[in-house]
Amino acid sequence: MFTVCTEHYSLILHDRGLPSMADEYAKRAVVNEVFETSRDGGSWCYVAVSNTKRTEWPFLTITQRFWPSEGGFNPGVILIPETKRLFIGAGERLLAYDLDIPQRLWEDSANTGFWSWARHGDTIVMSAELEIAAWDLLGRKLWTTYVEPPWEYSVSGSTLNLDVMGVKSQFYLTVGPNEKGT
C-alpha cells in the first residue's frame, strides 16, 4: 500500500490486494464501487480518495479485480486537480470520476490491457496493448485508435507522433488520427 498526497486530495493505492481497512473505508465512503472481471484469475486493485481539507476518511473507494495483471499490465491513476477528475486504468477497465460531486463519469475499456496515463497540456493520453486514446481534462473522450506492438508515441507541441511497427504518422493531439492532421 502507498499513499499519494496533493494539496487537496490523498489517494490510498493498492496494486495487488486490499488494505486491512477496506471494509471500514467502504462503510464511510460516499461512493463505494466494486468491479469484478469476467476472466479467470486476475489481481485486486484498490483506490481510495479523501479530501485533505475535510476528513481523513475516504469519500470514494474503488475495488476492482483486473485482468491482465501480469507482464507490465499494472494499474495506473492520474489526478487532474483543476477539474477534480480522477482517471483509473487496470487490466481492460478504464474509469473516470468527478471528485467534486463525487460520482463515476464513465466506464470504458482498454483494448487487451491498460499500460499507462500521461498528461500533455490539456489532453490525457491512455496507452494500452492495442489502443491509444485521448480525453480532455473534464473526462470527455476525444479520440481512440488501434495500434499493434511494437508501438510508441511522442508529443511535440500540439502534435502526436505515432510509430506503429515502423509506420509513422502524426496528427493533432486534440483531434486524433481520423481527422486531417499536421
Three-state secondary structure along the chain? CEEEECCCEEEEEECCCCCCCHHHHHHHCCEEEEECCCCCCCEEEEEEEEECCCCCCCCEEEEEEECCCCCCCCCEEEEECCCCEEEEEECCEEEEEECCCCEEEEEEECCCCEEEEEEECCEEEEEECCEEEEEECCCCEEEEEECCCCEEEEEECCEEEEEECCEEEEEECCCCCCCCCC
For residue 122, being part of any structural domain is answered with no
For residue 145, being part of any structural domain is answered with no
Whole-angstrom distance, CA of residue 148 vs CA of residue 163:
10
For residue 136, being part of any structural domain is answered with no
For residue 51, being part of any structural domain is answered with yes
Please state the domain count of the chain: 1
Spatial CA neighbour of 28 closest among 59, 62, 54, 50: 59
Give me the torsion for CA of 164, 168, 172, 175, rounded to 10°: -40
For residue 144, being part of any structural domain is answered with no
pLDDT tens, position by position, for the chain (182 residues)? 899 999 999 999 998 789 999 999 999 999 999 999 888 889 999 999 999 988 789 999 999 999 999 988 999 999 999 999 999 999 999 999 999 999 999 999 999 999 999 999 999 999 999 999 999 999 999 999 999 999 999 999 999 999 999 999 999 999 999 865 44
Spatial CA neighbour of 173 closest among 138, 139, 132: 132
For residue 143, being part of any structural domain is answered with no
For residue 131, being part of any structural domain is answered with no
**Residue range of the domain that includes 39:** 2-109
For residue 27, being part of any structural domain is answered with yes
